[in-house]
């Protein structure tokens, strides 16, 4: 009996030493200065970046794939701290192998960059796809190749993930968008809503702050159609009114089409085909602007032969995502576990 006890204790000690002695990862926050974000309109080119390092990161020389997570409108990188528990949970329950996840702060003075290059307000896409990736590969033990990089995000971040993946399949091999917005001009984004009518009467930022969709429209404009000669918001929008009659600015509308993934598909077919895997989802009760545009985007991808996964689930735009039984640990992370390359070579 004594020998059996000794053998059992020895096996326990070997097993204990073979795994990280902590099942918790670590969140660190860095600051990156980017020339791509230099501007004359008050946007800070020094951006906070929060990085999740998996359990055992400091105890080995192992390299890890990286998942780039883009936050939503009005959000920032600080969301990674409460998310870390979900990431630990996903690793310890073997939903995904150990990985690095990074969230850059792209909250602007107008609440969100839409991860786009703007002539006036900074090149936020270049910051994300070029500067951020280079920084991570130079400063952390990443696996520095496209097959080991995935990009994801929620809402505005889901939009950014899709668009950046469409532009840069040589950098990101795999994309998963959680309830993406701004894929197409529908509902509150379109002229059949009250959004542009209400926006016509806005004279300053204080009045704009009372209109949520007005703020989104201004963010679209600053991202996609900036105009230094059009104060107070220094951007153009595609729809306006002369009295009660709708007026369409076709030149501006074309600029918006060039930045909304539904309208970008035909021009980026070759890039879409290079991606290893594409998935996006949306809550059935998220509201028409999300359900309709996601269905439109999926249908058009299908019509041009782009393999992808599209899933509607029971939920709203925000629930059933950031919980242990939600989309991040049970759908998004396992998706990346399957498609990303975790090999050390």
Q: What is the CATH number of the domain that holds 265?
A: 3.40.50.1820
CA pair distance 221, 223, nearest whole angstrom = 5
pLDDT, residue 187, reads 87
Residue 10 located in a structural domain: no
**Residue 147 and residue 56 in one domain:** yes
Residue 5 located in a structural domain: no
pLDDT, residue 7, reads 38
Residue 212 located in a structural domain: yes
**Residue 143 and residue 212 in one domain:** no
**Residue 63 and residue 211 in one domain:** no
**Residue 275 and residue 135 in one domain:** yes
pLDDT, residue 95, reads 98
pLDDT, residue 194, reads 87
Residue 3 located in a structural domain: no
Residue 317 located in a structural domain: yes
Exposed, middle or buried, 203 (CB in 10 Å: 0-12/13-18/19+)? exposed
- Out of 224, 253, 282, a domain closes at 253
**Residue 166 and residue 44 in one domain:** yes
pLDDT along the chain (345 residues), means of 10: 40 39 88 98 97 96 97 97 97 98 97 97 98 98 98 98 98 98 90 88 89 92 97 95 90 97 98 98 89 96 98 94 96 98 89
For residue 31, CA distances in Å to 46, 47, 105, 132, 143 come to: 6, 5, 10, 10, 21
When divided into structural domains, the chain yields a total of 2
pLDDT, residue 193, reads 87
**Residue 80 and residue 100 in one domain:** yes
**Residue 179 and residue 194 in one domain:** no
Is the bond preceding 232 in cis, omega lying within 30 degrees of 0? yes
pLDDT, residue 243, reads 84
Total Cβ atoms within 10 A of residue 145:
14
**Residue 266 and residue 320 in one domain:** yes
- Out of 203, 235, 253, a domain closes at 253
**Residue 202 and residue 164 in one domain:** no
Q: Compute the C-alpha angle 189/126/150, nearest 5°.
A: 85
Residue 135 located in a structural domain: yes
**Which residues share a beta bridge with 30?**
49
Residue 60 located in a structural domain: yes
> Which domain, by its residues, includes 240?
188-253
């Amino acid at each position: 009996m004594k020998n059996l006890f000794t053998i059992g204790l020895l096996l326990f000690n070997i097993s204990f030493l073979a795994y990280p002695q902590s099942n918790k990862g670590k969140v660190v926050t860095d600051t990156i200065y980017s020339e791509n974000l230099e501007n004359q309109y008050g946007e800070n080119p020094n951006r906070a970046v929060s990085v999740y390092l998996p359990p055992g990161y400091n105890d080995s020389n192992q390299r890890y794939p990286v998942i780039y997570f883009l936050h939503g409108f009005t959000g920032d990188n600080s969301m990674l701290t409460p998310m870390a528990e979900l990431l630990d949970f996903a690793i310890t329950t073997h939903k995904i192998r150990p990985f690095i996840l990074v969230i850059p702060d792209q909250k602007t003075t107008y609440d969100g960059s839409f991860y786009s290059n703007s002539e006036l307000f900074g090149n936020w896409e270049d910051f994300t796809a070029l500067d951020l990736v280079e920084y991570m590969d130079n400063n952390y033990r990443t696996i520095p190749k496209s097959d080991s990089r995935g990009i994801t995000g929620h809402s505005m971040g889901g939009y950014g993930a899709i668009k950046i993946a469409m532009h840069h399949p040589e950098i990101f091999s795999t994309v998963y968008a959680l309830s993406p917005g701004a894929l197409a001009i529908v509902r509150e984004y379109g002229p059949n809503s009250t959004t542009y009518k209400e926006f016509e009467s806005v004279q300053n930022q204080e009045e704009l702050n009372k209109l949520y969709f007005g703020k989104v429209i201004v963010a679209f404009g600053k991202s996609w159609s900036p105009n230094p000669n059009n104060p107070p918001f220094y951007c153009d929008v595609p729809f306006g009114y002369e009295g009660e009659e709708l007026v369409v600015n076709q030149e501006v509308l074309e600029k918006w089409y060039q930045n909304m993934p539904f309208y970008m598909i035909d021009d980026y077919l070759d890039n879409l085909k290079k991606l290893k895997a594409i998935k996006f989802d949306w809550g059935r009760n998220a509201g028409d602007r999300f359900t309709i545009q996601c269905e439109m985007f999926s249908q058009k991808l299908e019509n041009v032969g782009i393999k992808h996964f599209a899933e509607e689930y029971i939920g709203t735009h925000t629930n059933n995502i950031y919980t242990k039984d939600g989309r991040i640990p049970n759908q998004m992370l396992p998706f990346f576990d399957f498609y990303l390359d975790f090999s050390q070579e």
